[in-house]
């Protein structure tokens, strides 16, 4: 279990890329990574699930990558195929 609070804060580009690589490696090895960050675009590229909390409450729980193109015409995970 990795608990990270603003892991990209005060890092240069190379540092952010290193942290991203370490997070991906840990998650790929089966670790759970809980990441608190204000950089939603970066977080969304690291993990397909982003939970947004405001005022102590979950206001959004998405499995759609934040940086992904809009795919409203395609069915989501678990959607039944009508063909």
Per residue in 29-80, pLDDT (tens digit) is: 999 999 999 888 888 888 878 888 889 999 988 876 555 444 444 444 444 5
Q: Give the pLDDT of residue 77.
A: 44
Q: Give the pLDDT of residue 65.
A: 54
Distance CA 18, CA 25 (A): 11
Q: Give the pLDDT of residue 80.
A: 52
35 close to 4: Cβ distance less than 8 angstroms: yes
Return the closest-CA partner of residue 18 out of 8, 10, 28, 27: 8
With 0-12 CB in 10 A as exposed, 13-18 as middle and 19+ as buried, what is 35?
buried
Q: What angle do CA 44, 49, 54 make, to 5 degrees?
A: 80
Q: Which pTM was predicted?
A: 0.66
Is the pLDDT at 28 greater than 50? The verdict is yes
Dihedral (Cα; 68, 24, 22, 34), 10-degree rounding:
80
């Amino acid at each position: 279990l990795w608990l990270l609070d603003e892991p990209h804060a005060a890092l240069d580009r190379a540092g952010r890329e290193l942290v991203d690589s370490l997070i991906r490696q840990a998650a790929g090895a089966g670790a759970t990574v809980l990441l608190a960050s204000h950089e939603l675009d970066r977080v969304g590229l690291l993990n397909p699930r982003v939970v947004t909390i405001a005022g102590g409450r979950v206001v959004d729980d998405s499995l759609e990558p934040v940086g992904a193109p809009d795919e409203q015409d395609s069915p989501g995970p678990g959607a039944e195929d009508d063909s």
